[in-house]
Amino acid sequence: MVNWGRFSGRSVAARIFGTTSRLPVEAAPGTADRKWRVFFSARGLHGTSPTGILQMLCHLSRSRSTQGKRPPSRFPFFLRRSMRFLSSVAASALGALIAVGLVGFLLFLVVFAIAASSGGEEPDVADGSVLRMELSGPIPETAPENPFARAFGDESVTALRDVTGALEKAAADERVRGVWMEMEGVSAPWATLQEVRQALQAFRQESGKPVIASAADFGMGEKEYFLATAADSIFAAPQAPFEFNGFVTNVSFYQGTFEKLGVEPQVVRAGTYKSAVEPLIRDDLSRPNREQLTEILNTQSTQFLQAVAQGRGIDTTALQDQIEEGAILNSEAAQEAGLISGLRHYDEVKGAWRDRLGLETGEEIEDVSLSDYARVPRSEAGLSAGGGGRVAIVYANGRIVSGESPDDFGFGNAPDQVGSETFAEAMRGARESESVDAVVLRIDSPGGSAAASEAMRRQAELTAQEKPMVVSMGDYAASGGYWIATAADTLVANPTTLTGSIGVFGVYFNASSFFNDELGITFDQVATSPVADLGNPARPLSDRERQLLEGSIDDTYQRFLQKVAASRGLSVAEVDSIAQGRVWSGMDARRVGLVDTLGRLDDAIGIAARQAGLDAASTSVTTYPRPEPFFERFVQGARAQAARSWTRATTSAAERALVKQRRFLRSLARRHGKAQALLPIELRIE
């Protein structure tokens, strides 16, 4: 028999649980074994659990805490009263100081944000100015107004349409003499870069003004150089890195990770090319997946080489031979190969601008930043301010989920998910607005939940029944993203858009080995049918359950095929032959009939305007979802900027890559047991 009198309540808890961190009160020592037996038997706790014993120990300690006498104080009574009074006064004063400080800090932030976000004063554009496009990091589809980002000089908050719109205004603005594109670490996807490049080409053709592209000692990769080929002069710093060595995409596989954890991914899919599940069950690329990735890379390489050939006047065959025989890795080699105009430091590039503008040596160059010029009204630049009708752009950006779009600004990035309810509200707003004549559905999504995709497609279909609606595809409009697109009659894609991926899959994780062998946890149950706990991660799927799931996934796939067939005017068999989960580039998608035409977002706006009988040149544009109230934007902007600054300061690129892999694994766990219409992989072409 245990001699309970030897232990305090805290030591008993330590022996039972191995910790005392959750024990609320220090239990009293010195309780005899007989008293414990009487105490428990009086409460019917002969077989109590360890948790119940711990609770009784705490109860007993509280009941005995009032016994005994308080030791005598060493101070007289009046001194003790004085000390308590002074400590109360000091605590109150300290609390008041903290409260005043917090209120003052919050007021400072509010005033700071209002001053930073004030749009009342239009940017001052001097005659003879140069539009400076400092491009780095991503170029998002949408970017909510973030006063903190502007205050800290973060140019990455400029959205794609702001970039292309600024170039359109600069072409007509007589005050702007040219565009200086300074690039460093551009990470936007290729379809986004192609839209920016096409806007630069249009600027040069319409205005005849010069465009100079430059990169400092950070160097130029293929993405920076792709944009630079739209300029009439390209300068790189001497001895700077220069990347001209072809394209590659890498795929991470987690089969070994799951084996080490004792977790078995059980996959059900429809589509030979639906390779979204391959990273879970393989350690290399399957033949169909390798085939489709090769086609995508070849399309990207062709687009890149054609852009270089057009911009630099070099034959594409010679460029391909250069890549295969001797890759170019520095700016000197790039100059020798005729890929750039010359080697110049920053001050020398400014000298080239002075020569173009006819300025004297040392004379200051007037310039305006991209973020500032994006706020210049179209009328001030000499363009129509609208009034000839209105087109609404409804954005569907990110992975498709049920419910509302999250406002999670993890690591300072914009949310990468679109919720079905948020999308439905935005689409209803555009549909019910009397001032909106036509709608452009801008999709930049790799897909996601099949059920949420169908709910969003229905809202888009209701809008298409009332108003002209055109789909514009961004970097991705694949799987669930293409599912939504079937609501429209006209689909516009970029040549490097990734679309198609018409297929469905489901993943069910069997973690029985992990629970049993690693954690020592076993389960038992009582059920009213053999499939009542379908998808239970504590056991593998039975043959009957797998048959049921395969039937459900195949039904979803057949509905997908039928919607595509009805939208594209094809038979189900014809759609099935180009579906099977295969990913197509925008160029190849047009060839097989999945999209109607190739073009930018502005092209889709023009098509929608003409379908509504509007003059595209005088059409104004509004966007949905609507911007959030100022206070919410203020809080989210502060949080996003703090997260971005903290992440950049405290983590390396390798650490951020590991965090990204962890987020991927967590997203897999959230998809357990749900039908997914999702792009096979997160494709990054480097």
Q: pLDDT tens-digit profile of 211-245?
A: 999 998 889 999 999 999 999 999 999 999 999 99
The sign of the torsion formed by the CA atoms of 406, 410, 415, 418 equals negative
Q: Are 509 and 669 in contact, with CB atoms under 8 Å apart? A: yes
Interval 36-70: pLDDT, tens: 444 444 444 444 444 454 444 444 444 444 444 45
Mean pLDDT of 490-504: 96
* 167: amino acid identity, one letter: L
Which tokens go with 9? 């309540």
Q: Rounded to 5 degrees, what are φ and ψ at 583?
A: -95, 130
Domains assigned to the chain: 130-245+327-374 (3.90.226.10), 390-503+554-632 (3.90.226.10), 651-685 (no CATH)
* 410: amino acid identity, one letter: G
Mean pLDDT of 238-257: 93
Q: How far is CA 236 from CA 216, 306, 662, in A?
A: 6, 21, 37
C-alpha of 192 from chain center: 14
Q: Are 417 and 396 in contact, with CB atoms under 8 Å apart? A: no
Interaxial angle between packed helices 190-207 and 287-312, expressed in degrees from 0 to 180 and rounded to the nearest 10: 20
Residue 220: DSSP 8-state: B
Q: What is the pLDDT of residue 245?
A: 93
Closest to 329 in 3D by CA, of 216, 215, 187, 221: 221
Q: What is the pLDDT of residue 392?
A: 97
Which tokens go with 106? 């919050």
Residue 672: DSSP 8-state: B
Considering only 33-47, 236-250, 298-312, 623-637, which range has the smallest mean pLDDT?
Answer: 33-47
Tokens 């990035």 correspond to what residue? 413
Q: How far is CA 166 from CA 172, 199, 228, in A?
A: 10, 9, 17
Closest to 148 in 3D by CA, of 647, 650, 642: 642
Q: How far is CA 230 from CA 14, 213, 226, 313, 641, in A?
A: 71, 9, 8, 12, 32
The C-alpha atoms of residue 133 and residue 208 are separated, in whole angstroms, by 18
Mean pLDDT of 643-671: 59
- Output 95 or 511, whichever has higher pLDDT: 511
Strands 264-270 and 504-510: antiparallel
Q: What is the pLDDT of residue 376?
A: 93
Mean pLDDT of 531-559: 92
The C-alpha atoms of residue 215 and residue 594 are separated, in whole angstroms, by 38
Catalytically active residues, by annotation = 274, 479
Interval 330-340: pLDDT, tens: 999 999 999 99
Interaxial angle between packed helices 450-466 and 420-432, expressed in degrees from 0 to 180 and rounded to the nearest 10: 0
The C-alpha atoms of residue 574 and residue 379 are separated, in whole angstroms, by 49
The C-alpha atoms of residue 474 and residue 472 are separated, in whole angstroms, by 7
For the chain, report the end-to-end CA distance as a whole number of angstroms. Answer: 70
Tokens 């039904």 correspond to what residue? 555
Q: What is the pLDDT of residue 103?
A: 73
Which tokens go with 158? 């400029």
* 81: amino acid identity, one letter: R
- Output 364 or 681, whichever has higher pLDDT: 364
Interaxial angle between packed helices 160-172 and 601-611, expressed in degrees from 0 to 180 and rounded to the nearest 10: 80
Adjacent-strand bridge partners of 395: 442
Tabulate helix, strand, coil % of the chain (nearest 5).
50, 15, 35
- The overall longest dimension of the chain from CA atoms, in Å, is 103
Q: Are 306 and 296 in contact, with CB atoms under 8 Å apart? A: no
- Non-local CB neighbours of 155 within 8 Å, separated by 6+ positions: 134, 135, 136, 369, 370, 371
Q: Are 583 and 251 in contact, with CB atoms under 8 Å apart? A: no
DSSP-derived secondary structure for 567-578 = HHT--HHHHHHH
% the chain with pLDDT above 90: 60
DSSP strands (E only) in 39-194: 129-137, 176-186
Mean pLDDT of 80-84: 64
Q: Are 109 and 592 in contact, with CB atoms under 8 Å apart? A: no
The C-alpha atoms of residue 143 and residue 121 are separated, in whole angstroms, by 20
Q: What is the pLDDT of residue 54?
A: 41
* 656: amino acid identity, one letter: R
Which tokens go with 610? 């003409």
**pTM reported for the whole predicted model:** 0.77
- Output 578 or 123, whichever has higher pLDDT: 578
The C-alpha atoms of residue 31 and residue 47 are separated, in whole angstroms, by 19
Q: What is the pLDDT of residue 647?
A: 62
Mean pLDDT of the chain: 82
Residue 1: DSSP 8-state: -
Q: Are 7 and 15 in contact, with CB atoms under 8 Å apart? A: yes
Which tokens go with 397? 């950006």
The C-alpha atoms of residue 527 and residue 533 are separated, in whole angstroms, by 8
